[in-house]
């Protein structure tokens, strides 16, 4: 068939190619169709558990909507990261959707739920459970849920992530390299924290799970 004489037929062929369902397991373990969309498993672990020592975040059990938005923000540079930018830019929308949905269905680590009424000791736990209201910093659990297990599509889990990863994100907000959050909610919180507070609160949430404290 001559696609130039039959423009509609040509268009239909292109559409059927571009909407072909991506195989999420293949994208995750082997990479996307474009070579720059490197295999996620290399850095995020065989089961999406992350690599604590390297600061590669856990993806298993995160909201699919949250992850797709992060991928779009990496691609656009709103969340600046040299590694993830080229990977996210090379993923097709179908691949990003498929792999995020698959990862969201994996289990999160089991954590005892510690809320804002629990006793708080030390810098990290006090910030997590009480905040620093004299500086307009709400307690982390008020948005991220008890023990920072995450709430819905907007508030990602802190429990299950490593101290390295958590503190790198707080520093990224302070430095303005991550500025993709709605209404600058996290930017406001992070800019109010001292270096010692970042270390302490990151260690607190990482220490709630074996995965976060691991390696
Ligand atoms: C070479 C290592 C590497 C590979 C391969 C990789 N990532 Fe990442 N990923 C990272 C790093 C490092 C970060 C943290 C970036 C930052 O500090 O902002 C990250 C962050 C993310 C985040 C944000 C998580 C959060 O909690 O906000 C998502 C989502 C993500 N990656 C998805 C993927 C997907 C999907 C793939 C495969 C197509 C992939 N990554 C491949 C290193 C990698
Ligand atoms: C007012 C609500 C709010 C409060 C309070 C809050 N956060 Fe957040 N936090 C958010 C939102 C929203 C995001 C997701 C930003 C995005 O969409 O990229 C986030 C994301 C994060 C991330 C990135 C997680 C990831 O997977 O990349 C870290 C780390 C974090 N918050 C730590 C903290 C800590 C520590 C505290 C307490 C000192 C805290 N947050 C208090 C709203 C809040």
The atom number, within ligand 2, closest to the CA of 178 reads 18
Tokens 């074996």, residue located: 210
pLDDT class for 14, splitting at 50, 70, 90? low
Within its chain, how far is the Cα of 139 from the centroid?
20
Closest CA to 93 of 18, 7, 194: 18
Percent of the chain with pLDDT over 90: 85
Residue pLDDT, tens place only, 107-127: 999 999 999 999 999 999 999
Rounded CA separation 203/164 (Å): 9
User: Into which CATH architecture does domain 122-213 fall?
Assistant: Orthogonal Bundle (1.10)
Query: Can you say how many angstroms the Cα of residue 165 is from the centroid of all Cα atoms in its chain?
Result: 10
Q: If you measure from the C-alpha of residue 14 to the centroid of ligand 1, how many angstroms do you get, rounded to a whole number?
A: 30
- Which bound ligand lies closest to the C-alpha atom of 31? 1
Ligand 1 close to Cβ of residue 57 (< 6 A)? yes
CA distance 81 to 71: 11
> Is the CB of residue 81 below 6 angstroms from any atom belonging to ligand 1?
yes
Average confidence (pLDDT) over 83-92: 98
Q: Dmax over Cα atoms in the chain, in whole Å?
A: 75
Ligand 2, atom nearest to 166 Cα: 29
| Å from CA of 44 to ligand 1 middle | 7
Residue 45, sorted as left (phi over 0), alpha (psi -120 to 50) or beta, turns out to be: left
pLDDT band of residue 11 (cuts 50, 70, 90) is low
What class does CATH assign to 22-104?
A: mainly alpha
Distance CA 202, CA 162 (A): 8
pLDDT value at position 214? Answer: 66
pLDDT in tens, 169-186: 999 999 999 999 989 999
Q: What is the residue extent of each domain of the chain?
A: 22-104, 122-213
Please provide residue 62's backbone torsions phi and psi, each rounded to the nearest 5 degrees. -75, 155
CA–CA gap between residue 16 and residue 204 (Å, rounded): 49
d(CA 28, CA 45): 10
Is it the case that residue 16 has pLDDT exceeding 50?
no
Task: Name residues contacting ligand 2 (CB within 6 A).
Answer: 57, 127, 138, 140, 142-144, 154-156, 158, 166, 169-170, 180-182, 185-186, 189, 201
Cα(133) to centroid(ligand 1), Å? 33
For residues 34 and 29, give the distance between their C-alpha atoms in angstroms, rounded to a whole number: 14
Q: Ligand 1 centroid vs 156 CA: distance in angstroms?
A: 14
Q: Note the pLDDT of residue 1.
A: 46
Q: Whose CA is nearest to atom 18 of ligand 1?
A: 81
Ligand 1 centroid from CA 134, angstroms: 35
Q: What is the pLDDT, as a whole number, of residue 108?
A: 92
Q: Which two tokens stand for residue 101?
A: 């949905």
CA–CA separation, 106 and 49 (whole Å): 10
* Mean of the per-residue pLDDT values of the chain: 92
Return d(Cα 42, Cα 40) in angstroms, integer.
5
Considering the entire predicted model, what is its pTM?
0.92
The pLDDT score that the predictor gives to residue 39 is 98
134 vs 150: CA distance, rounded Å? 25
| Same fold: 22-104 with 122-213 | yes
């Amino acid at each position: 068939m001559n696609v130039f004489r039959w423009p509609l037929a040509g268009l239909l062929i292109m559409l059927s190619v571009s909407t072909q369902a991506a195989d999420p397991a293949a994208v995750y373990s082997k990479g996307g169709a474009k070579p720059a969309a490197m295999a996620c498993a290399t850095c995020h672990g065989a089961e999406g558990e992350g690599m604590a020592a390297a600061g590669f975040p856990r993806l298993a059990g995160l909201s699919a909507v949250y992850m797709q938005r992060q991928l779009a923000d990496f691609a656009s540079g709103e969340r600046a990261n040299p590694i993830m930018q080229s990977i996210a830019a090379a993923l097709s929308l179908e691949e990003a959707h498929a792999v995020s949905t698959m990862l969201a269905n994996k289990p999160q680590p089991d954590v005892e739920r510690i809320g804002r009424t629990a006793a708080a000791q030390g810098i990290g736990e006090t910030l997590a459970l009480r905040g620093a209201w004299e500086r307009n910093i709400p307690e982390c659990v008020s948005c991220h849920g008890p023990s920072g297990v995450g709430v819905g599509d907007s508030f990602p889990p802190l429990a299950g992530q490593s101290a390295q990863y958590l503190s790198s994100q707080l520093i990224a907000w302070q430095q303005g390299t991550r500025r993709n959050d709605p209404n600058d909610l996290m930017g406001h919180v992070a800019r109010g924290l001292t270096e010692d507070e970042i270390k302490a609160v990151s260690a607190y949430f990482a220490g709630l799970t074996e995965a976060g404290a691991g390696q």
